[in-house]
Amino acid sequence: QKIAVCVSGGGTNLQAIIDKINDGTIKNTEISVVISNKPDAYALERAKKAGIDAVCIRPKDYENRDDFANTMVDTLKKHDIDLVVLAGYLVIVPVKMIHEYRNRIINIHPSLIPSHCGMGYYGLKVHESVLATGNKVTGATVHFVDEEADHGPIILQKAVKVHENDTPEILQKRVMEEAEWNILPEAIDLIGAGKVKVIDGIAHIEE
């Protein structure tokens, strides 16, 4: 399967995907393009180092959302993309793109949705919220993207313990290392193997 990875930041999730394709953990998959909305995202550097086509598509470079949406979809079609992976991508996915790629766009969110998610919950804010509510367990979720933020069919989740004296930064790092960097590659591999089906809004995984 050909995947596009959309990024906005450091690209550690992208790096996990690159590394697990290279070590054979993720089968039947190639990253055809990395798309960022930030020209200076280190994730673009990681893509270039790995010899992967890296493009910057910035919403504010377009007259309106439609032009941005069309450019995104055209780029995906040009690369013959089967699956879009949002990995720390901080742009609201245009509805046109969701319609064109229904149940073929996945996102990694650093909490156990439906907790601590939705508009405004991204990056450290998610972990600040977890600590503020005194949760003893948090984690990460891979889900299909639909028209609502952090809301589509859940594919995989992995729980992570919250420790006494955790700061948001320490907790974020643990969630990335113990959860994100494992379940995102695993979900890509499962989808590549045709093992994930969405029935009545629920994602089912063939064992």
Catalytic machinery residues: 109
Our CB check for ligand GRF shows the closer of 69 and 106 to be 106
What track of x and - describes contact with ligand GRF for positions 91 through 110 (by CB under 6 A)? -----------------x-x
Q: Give the CB-nearest residue to ligand GRF.
A: 88
Dihedral sign, CA of 92, 182, 131, 124? negative
Element (H, E) at 68: helix 65-78
Strands, sheet with 137-144, edge to edge from the N-terminal-most edge strand: 54-56, 30-36, 2-7, 83-86, 105-109, 137-144, 154-161
Sign, Cα dihedral of 85, 98, 158, 10 = positive
Q: Does 112 bind ligand GRF (CB under 6 A)?
A: no
Q: Which stretch binds ligand GRF (CB under 6 A): 5-13, 59-67, 73-81, 188-196?
A: 5-13
Question: Residue 153: what residue type?
Answer: P
Q: In the bound complex, what is the minimum distance in angstroms from residue 172's beta carbon to ligand GRF? A: 6
**Residue 43 within binding range of ligand GRF, rule CB under 6 A:** yes
State the Cα–Cα distance between residues 83 and 80, nearest whole angstrom.
Answer: 9
Selected range binding ligand GRF among 7-15, 26-34, 73-81, 187-195, rule: CB under 6 A: 7-15
Question: Nearer to ligand GRF by C-beta: 92 or 204?
Answer: 92
Q: How far is the CB of 155 from ligand GRF (least distance, A)?
A: 15
Q: Which stretch binds ligand GRF (CB under 6 A): 10-18, 20-28, 29-37, 72-80?
A: 10-18
- What residues numbered 15-34 form the site for ligand GRF, per CB under 6 A? none
Q: Could you tell me which residues come within 8 angstroms of residue 98 by beta carbon, excluding any fewer than 6 positions away?
A: 105, 145, 146, 147
Among 19, 115, 118, 123, binds ligand GRF (CB under 6 A): 123
Q: How far is the CB of 43 from ligand GRF (least distance, A)?
A: 6
CA–CA gap between residue 131 and residue 8 (Å, rounded): 25
Residue with tokens 């994730």: 43
